[in-house]
Chains A and B, each alone.
Chain A
Amino acid sequence: MAGKNILIVDDAAFMRMMIREILAKNGYTIVGEAENGIRAVELFQELQPDLVIMDITMPEMDGIAAVRAIRKLDAEASIIMCSAMGQQALVIESIQAGAKDFIVKPFQAERVIEAVAKITG
Protein backbone atom coordinates (compact mmCIF):
# COMPACT_ATOMS: atom_id res chain seq x y z
CA MET A 1 0.00 0.00 0.00
CA ALA A 2 1.37 3.40 -0.98
CA GLY A 3 2.44 5.73 1.81
CA LYS A 4 4.40 3.06 3.66
CA ASN A 5 7.86 3.98 4.92
CA ILE A 6 10.74 2.11 3.35
CA LEU A 7 14.47 1.86 4.16
CA ILE A 8 16.71 1.03 1.18
CA VAL A 9 20.02 -0.74 1.83
CA ASP A 10 22.57 -1.18 -0.97
CA ASP A 11 26.26 -0.27 -1.20
CA ALA A 12 25.72 1.26 -4.65
CA ALA A 13 24.18 4.75 -4.54
CA PHE A 14 23.04 4.38 -8.12
CA MET A 15 21.15 1.17 -7.25
CA ARG A 16 19.54 2.90 -4.26
CA MET A 17 18.52 5.68 -6.64
CA MET A 18 16.93 3.19 -9.05
CA ILE A 19 14.92 1.56 -6.26
CA ARG A 20 14.01 4.95 -4.77
CA GLU A 21 12.62 6.14 -8.11
CA ILE A 22 10.56 2.99 -8.62
CA LEU A 23 9.06 3.23 -5.14
CA ALA A 24 8.51 6.98 -5.15
CA LYS A 25 6.66 6.77 -8.48
CA ASN A 26 4.30 4.31 -6.83
CA GLY A 27 3.61 6.47 -3.81
CA TYR A 28 5.95 4.91 -1.25
CA THR A 29 7.99 7.07 1.13
CA ILE A 30 11.72 6.47 1.37
CA VAL A 31 12.61 7.26 4.98
CA GLY A 32 16.28 6.38 4.74
CA GLU A 33 19.13 4.81 2.81
CA ALA A 34 22.09 2.81 4.07
CA GLU A 35 25.25 1.70 2.28
CA ASN A 36 26.11 -1.29 4.45
CA GLY A 37 24.61 -3.67 6.98
CA ILE A 38 25.86 -1.84 10.06
CA ARG A 39 24.30 1.44 8.96
CA ALA A 40 21.11 -0.44 8.03
CA VAL A 41 20.72 -1.76 11.59
CA GLU A 42 21.34 1.73 13.02
CA LEU A 43 18.81 3.33 10.69
CA PHE A 44 16.26 0.60 11.32
CA GLN A 45 16.36 1.37 15.04
CA GLU A 46 16.19 5.09 14.43
CA LEU A 47 13.53 5.19 11.71
CA GLN A 48 11.37 2.11 12.42
CA PRO A 49 10.43 1.65 8.73
CA ASP A 50 7.49 -0.48 7.58
CA LEU A 51 9.78 -2.33 5.17
CA VAL A 52 13.50 -2.75 4.42
CA ILE A 53 14.86 -3.59 0.97
CA MET A 54 18.26 -5.17 1.55
CA ASP A 55 21.19 -6.07 -0.75
CA ILE A 56 23.26 -9.12 0.24
CA THR A 57 26.81 -8.43 -0.93
CA MET A 58 27.98 -5.32 0.91
CA PRO A 59 31.11 -4.22 2.79
CA GLU A 60 31.27 -3.98 6.60
CA MET A 61 28.28 -6.25 7.27
CA ASP A 62 26.51 -8.25 4.57
CA GLY A 63 22.76 -8.25 4.08
CA ILE A 64 22.04 -11.64 5.63
CA ALA A 65 23.90 -10.70 8.83
CA ALA A 66 21.99 -7.40 8.87
CA VAL A 67 18.65 -9.21 8.50
CA ARG A 68 19.52 -11.37 11.52
CA ALA A 69 20.49 -8.29 13.54
CA ILE A 70 17.31 -6.43 12.61
CA ARG A 71 15.09 -9.42 13.38
CA LYS A 72 16.70 -9.60 16.83
CA LEU A 73 15.58 -6.02 17.39
CA ASP A 74 12.14 -6.60 15.91
CA ALA A 75 10.93 -10.13 15.23
CA GLU A 76 8.15 -8.74 13.02
CA ALA A 77 10.42 -6.62 10.80
CA SER A 78 9.54 -6.87 7.11
CA ILE A 79 12.57 -7.28 4.88
CA ILE A 80 12.94 -8.03 1.17
CA MET A 81 16.33 -9.25 -0.04
CA CYS A 82 17.55 -7.87 -3.35
CA SER A 83 20.60 -9.60 -4.77
CA ALA A 84 22.33 -10.58 -7.98
CA MET A 85 22.85 -14.05 -6.54
CA GLY A 86 19.67 -16.04 -7.09
CA GLN A 87 21.03 -19.37 -5.88
CA GLN A 88 18.36 -21.42 -4.14
CA ALA A 89 20.56 -22.00 -1.10
CA LEU A 90 21.00 -18.24 -0.59
CA VAL A 91 17.29 -17.59 -1.02
CA ILE A 92 16.59 -20.22 1.65
CA GLU A 93 19.30 -18.77 3.92
CA SER A 94 17.76 -15.32 3.53
CA ILE A 95 14.26 -16.56 4.30
CA GLN A 96 15.55 -18.49 7.31
CA ALA A 97 17.31 -15.33 8.51
CA GLY A 98 13.95 -13.57 8.43
CA ALA A 99 13.52 -12.07 4.94
CA LYS A 100 10.00 -12.27 3.52
CA ASP A 101 10.81 -12.19 -0.20
CA PHE A 102 13.76 -12.23 -2.59
CA ILE A 103 14.27 -10.14 -5.72
CA VAL A 104 17.03 -11.02 -8.19
CA LYS A 105 19.03 -8.21 -9.82
CA PRO A 106 18.82 -6.95 -12.47
CA PHE A 107 15.14 -6.45 -11.71
CA GLN A 108 12.10 -5.07 -13.46
CA ALA A 109 10.19 -2.26 -11.70
CA GLU A 110 7.04 -4.41 -11.73
CA ARG A 111 8.76 -7.16 -9.75
CA VAL A 112 9.87 -4.68 -7.06
CA ILE A 113 6.40 -3.18 -6.73
CA GLU A 114 4.75 -6.60 -6.68
CA ALA A 115 7.00 -7.77 -3.81
CA VAL A 116 6.62 -4.54 -1.84
CA ALA A 117 2.84 -4.42 -2.30
CA LYS A 118 2.48 -8.06 -1.23
CA ILE A 119 4.26 -7.39 2.05
CA THR A 120 2.98 -3.94 2.91
CA GLY A 121 -0.52 -5.03 1.83
Chain B
Amino acid sequence: MMKEWDGIGLQEEKSWEVLREAASIGTGNAVTELYQRTHQTIRMGVTDVALATAVELHEILGGGSGRVFAFSLHVEGEIKGRLLVLLGQDSAVRLQRRMQEQRETQGTAVLEPGMDALKETLRRMSKVYLVAVSCLTNLKIIGSRPALSADQLHKVLEKPLAGMADPEGKVLCAHTRVWDEERTFEGDFLFLPEKASVLAMLSSTGS
Protein backbone atom coordinates (compact mmCIF):
# COMPACT_ATOMS: atom_id res chain seq x y z
CA MET B 1 0.00 0.00 0.00
CA MET B 2 1.48 3.32 -1.03
CA LYS B 3 1.13 6.17 1.39
CA GLU B 4 2.54 9.61 1.93
CA TRP B 5 5.45 9.42 4.29
CA ASP B 6 5.54 12.07 6.98
CA GLY B 7 4.49 14.82 4.64
CA ILE B 8 7.86 15.17 2.92
CA GLY B 9 6.59 14.02 -0.43
CA LEU B 10 7.98 10.52 -0.39
CA GLN B 11 6.12 7.39 -1.29
CA GLU B 12 7.00 5.08 1.56
CA GLU B 13 7.54 1.83 -0.32
CA LYS B 14 9.67 3.33 -3.07
CA SER B 15 11.76 5.32 -0.60
CA TRP B 16 12.30 2.35 1.63
CA GLU B 17 13.28 0.14 -1.26
CA VAL B 18 16.04 2.50 -2.39
CA LEU B 19 17.29 2.70 1.17
CA ARG B 20 17.04 -1.08 1.59
CA GLU B 21 19.08 -1.70 -1.56
CA ALA B 22 21.68 0.94 -0.67
CA ALA B 23 22.13 -0.61 2.79
CA SER B 24 22.24 -4.10 1.32
CA ILE B 25 24.91 -3.12 -1.21
CA GLY B 26 26.88 -1.27 1.47
CA THR B 27 26.81 -4.30 3.75
CA GLY B 28 27.65 -6.72 0.92
CA ASN B 29 30.72 -4.68 0.01
CA ALA B 30 31.72 -4.30 3.67
CA VAL B 31 31.61 -8.05 4.32
CA THR B 32 33.63 -8.60 1.15
CA GLU B 33 36.26 -6.35 2.72
CA LEU B 34 36.10 -8.44 5.89
CA TYR B 35 36.47 -11.62 3.82
CA GLN B 36 39.60 -10.23 2.20
CA ARG B 37 41.08 -9.67 5.64
CA THR B 38 40.00 -12.92 7.32
CA HIS B 39 39.36 -15.38 4.45
CA GLN B 40 36.20 -16.35 6.29
CA THR B 41 33.01 -16.40 4.21
CA ILE B 42 30.39 -14.08 5.64
CA ARG B 43 26.67 -14.40 4.86
CA MET B 44 24.13 -11.62 5.10
CA GLY B 45 20.39 -11.49 5.54
CA VAL B 46 17.83 -9.43 3.68
CA THR B 47 17.98 -5.79 4.82
CA ASP B 48 15.01 -4.57 6.84
CA VAL B 49 13.93 -0.95 6.76
CA ALA B 50 11.76 0.49 9.51
CA LEU B 51 10.73 3.63 11.29
CA ALA B 52 11.43 2.61 14.84
CA THR B 53 11.59 4.00 18.36
CA ALA B 54 14.69 3.31 20.45
CA VAL B 55 12.83 0.46 22.15
CA GLU B 56 11.77 -1.04 18.81
CA LEU B 57 15.30 -0.67 17.49
CA HIS B 58 16.57 -2.57 20.51
CA GLU B 59 14.14 -5.39 19.61
CA ILE B 60 15.11 -5.32 15.93
CA LEU B 61 18.70 -5.85 17.01
CA GLY B 62 17.77 -8.85 19.09
CA GLY B 63 17.54 -7.16 22.48
CA GLY B 64 19.53 -8.71 25.27
CA SER B 65 21.55 -7.13 28.02
CA GLY B 66 25.00 -8.45 27.10
CA ARG B 67 27.98 -6.26 26.28
CA VAL B 68 28.03 -4.97 22.72
CA PHE B 69 30.84 -3.34 20.76
CA ALA B 70 29.53 -0.46 18.68
CA PHE B 71 31.53 1.24 15.97
CA SER B 72 29.72 4.40 14.99
CA LEU B 73 30.33 7.33 12.73
CA HIS B 74 28.52 10.35 11.38
CA VAL B 75 27.65 10.27 7.70
CA GLU B 76 28.03 13.68 6.14
CA GLY B 77 27.88 15.21 2.69
CA GLU B 78 24.94 14.69 0.34
CA ILE B 79 23.60 11.90 2.58
CA LYS B 80 23.47 12.67 6.28
CA GLY B 81 22.96 10.30 9.17
CA ARG B 82 24.76 7.64 11.19
CA LEU B 83 26.33 4.29 10.44
CA LEU B 84 26.85 1.71 13.16
CA VAL B 85 28.47 -1.70 13.13
CA LEU B 86 27.47 -3.72 16.19
CA LEU B 87 29.15 -6.87 17.46
CA GLY B 88 28.39 -8.92 20.54
CA GLN B 89 31.33 -9.39 22.87
CA ASP B 90 32.04 -12.97 21.73
CA SER B 91 31.97 -11.98 18.07
CA ALA B 92 34.24 -9.00 18.70
CA VAL B 93 36.77 -11.18 20.53
CA ARG B 94 36.69 -13.83 17.78
CA LEU B 95 37.11 -11.23 15.05
CA GLN B 96 39.99 -9.65 16.93
CA ARG B 97 41.69 -13.08 17.30
CA ARG B 98 41.11 -13.86 13.64
CA MET B 99 42.73 -10.59 12.61
CA GLN B 100 45.78 -11.37 14.70
CA GLU B 101 46.01 -14.97 13.43
CA GLN B 102 45.83 -13.65 9.89
CA ARG B 103 48.71 -11.28 10.51
CA GLU B 104 50.77 -14.02 12.10
CA THR B 105 50.00 -16.40 9.22
CA GLN B 106 51.13 -13.75 6.79
CA GLY B 107 54.31 -13.30 8.78
CA THR B 108 53.67 -9.65 9.44
CA ALA B 109 54.22 -8.10 12.80
CA VAL B 110 51.20 -7.53 14.99
CA LEU B 111 51.30 -3.81 14.59
CA GLU B 112 47.75 -3.27 15.74
CA PRO B 113 47.22 -5.60 18.65
CA GLY B 114 43.93 -5.99 20.46
CA MET B 115 41.40 -3.25 20.10
CA ASP B 116 43.36 -1.36 17.45
CA ALA B 117 43.16 -4.30 15.04
CA LEU B 118 39.41 -4.52 15.57
CA LYS B 119 39.01 -0.78 15.12
CA GLU B 120 41.02 -0.77 11.92
CA THR B 121 38.94 -3.62 10.47
CA LEU B 122 35.65 -1.94 11.36
CA ARG B 123 36.93 1.40 10.04
CA ARG B 124 37.77 -0.21 6.69
CA MET B 125 34.39 -1.97 6.53
CA SER B 126 32.54 1.26 7.29
CA LYS B 127 34.50 3.13 4.65
CA VAL B 128 33.78 0.46 2.04
CA TYR B 129 30.08 0.54 3.03
CA LEU B 130 29.88 4.29 2.44
CA VAL B 131 31.86 4.15 -0.81
CA ALA B 132 29.41 1.52 -2.14
CA VAL B 133 26.38 3.65 -1.18
CA SER B 134 28.06 6.66 -2.77
CA CYS B 135 28.74 4.74 -6.02
CA LEU B 136 25.15 3.47 -6.17
CA THR B 137 23.57 6.86 -5.57
CA ASN B 138 26.18 9.10 -7.21
CA LEU B 139 26.10 11.21 -4.05
CA LYS B 140 29.18 12.41 -2.20
CA ILE B 141 29.38 10.94 1.30
CA ILE B 142 31.98 11.54 3.96
CA GLY B 143 32.35 9.44 7.07
CA SER B 144 33.41 11.21 10.27
CA ARG B 145 36.15 9.98 12.59
CA PRO B 146 34.62 6.81 14.03
CA ALA B 147 34.14 5.99 17.68
CA LEU B 148 34.25 2.57 19.29
CA SER B 149 32.29 1.99 22.46
CA ALA B 150 31.43 -1.09 24.48
CA ASP B 151 28.38 -1.29 26.72
CA GLN B 152 24.86 -2.67 26.87
CA LEU B 153 22.93 -2.33 23.60
CA HIS B 154 20.53 0.38 24.75
CA LYS B 155 23.43 2.43 26.07
CA VAL B 156 25.55 2.22 22.91
CA LEU B 157 22.51 3.28 20.88
CA GLU B 158 21.77 6.32 23.04
CA LYS B 159 24.40 8.68 21.64
CA PRO B 160 24.02 7.90 17.92
CA LEU B 161 20.24 8.20 18.22
CA ALA B 162 20.38 11.50 20.06
CA GLY B 163 18.91 14.27 17.97
CA MET B 164 17.82 11.96 15.16
CA ALA B 165 14.34 11.00 16.31
CA ASP B 166 11.23 12.59 14.77
CA PRO B 167 8.47 14.12 16.94
CA GLU B 168 7.09 10.62 17.50
CA GLY B 169 10.48 9.48 18.78
CA LYS B 170 11.21 7.36 15.70
CA VAL B 171 14.30 7.02 13.53
CA LEU B 172 14.55 5.60 10.05
CA CYS B 173 16.81 2.56 10.08
CA ALA B 174 18.13 0.05 7.58
CA HIS B 175 19.33 -3.06 9.37
CA THR B 176 21.36 -5.95 7.93
CA ARG B 177 22.53 -8.97 9.92
CA VAL B 178 25.75 -10.75 8.95
CA TRP B 179 27.24 -14.04 10.16
CA ASP B 180 29.87 -16.60 9.30
CA GLU B 181 29.15 -20.18 8.20
CA GLU B 182 29.57 -21.64 11.70
CA ARG B 183 27.64 -18.82 13.36
CA THR B 184 30.62 -18.13 15.60
CA PHE B 185 30.57 -14.56 14.38
CA GLU B 186 27.47 -12.38 14.09
CA GLY B 187 27.12 -8.69 13.59
CA ASP B 188 24.66 -5.97 12.63
CA PHE B 189 24.99 -3.04 10.27
CA LEU B 190 22.68 -0.18 11.09
CA PHE B 191 22.33 2.74 8.70
CA LEU B 192 20.31 5.66 10.05
CA PRO B 193 19.89 8.29 7.33
CA GLU B 194 18.11 11.55 7.95
CA LYS B 195 14.76 11.35 6.22
CA ALA B 196 15.56 14.25 3.92
CA SER B 197 18.60 12.36 2.65
CA VAL B 198 16.33 9.65 1.29
CA LEU B 199 14.87 12.28 -1.06
CA ALA B 200 18.34 12.86 -2.45
CA MET B 201 18.87 9.11 -2.83
CA LEU B 202 15.56 8.72 -4.66
CA SER B 203 16.31 11.60 -6.97
CA SER B 204 19.85 10.49 -7.77
CA THR B 205 18.80 6.94 -8.59
CA GLY B 206 15.94 8.11 -10.80
CA SER B 207 13.36 6.30 -8.69
- List chain A positions with a Cβ less than 8 A from chain B: 11-15, 17-18, 57-59, 83-90, 104-106
- Residue in contact with A89 in the complex, picked from B14, B18, B35, CB distance below 8 Å: B35
Q: Which chain A residues border B45 with CB–CB below 8 Å?
A: 57
Q: Which chain A residues border B136 with CB–CB below 8 Å?
A: 105-106
| Interface: B41 (CB within 8 A) | yes
Closest residue on chain B to residue A56 by CB atoms: B28
A15 near B46 (CB under 8 angstroms)?
no
Minimum C-beta distance from B39 to chain A (A): 9
A87 near B24 (CB under 8 angstroms)?
no
B41 near A87 (CB under 8 angstroms)?
yes
Q: Which chain A residues border B206 with CB–CB below 8 Å?
A: 17-18
- Contacts between chains A and B (CB distance < 8 A), count: 62
Report the bound CA distance from A51 to B20 in whole Å.
Answer: 26
> Chain B contact residues: over half helix, strand or loop, or mixed?
helix
Q: Which chain A residues border B205 with CB–CB below 8 Å?
A: 14, 18
A14 near B207 (CB under 8 angstroms)?
yes
Report the bound CA distance from A104 to B27 in whole Å.
Answer: 13
A105 near B25 (CB under 8 angstroms)?
yes
Report the bound CA distance from A85 to B29 in whole Å.
Answer: 6
B35 near A84 (CB under 8 angstroms)?
no
B21 near A83 (CB under 8 angstroms)?
no
B132 near A84 (CB under 8 angstroms)?
yes
- Residue in contact with A14 in the complex, picked from B18, B29, B31, B132, CB distance below 8 Å: B18
| Given known contacts A87-B41, A90-B41, A57 and B18 CB-to-CB distance under 8 angstroms | no
Q: What are 8 inter-chain pairs, A to B, with CB distance below 8 A?
A: A14-B21, A18-B205, A57-B24, A84-B32, A85-B44, A87-B32, A105-B25, A105-B132
- Residue in contact with A87 in the complex, picked from B27, B42, B132, B207, CB distance below 8 Å: B42
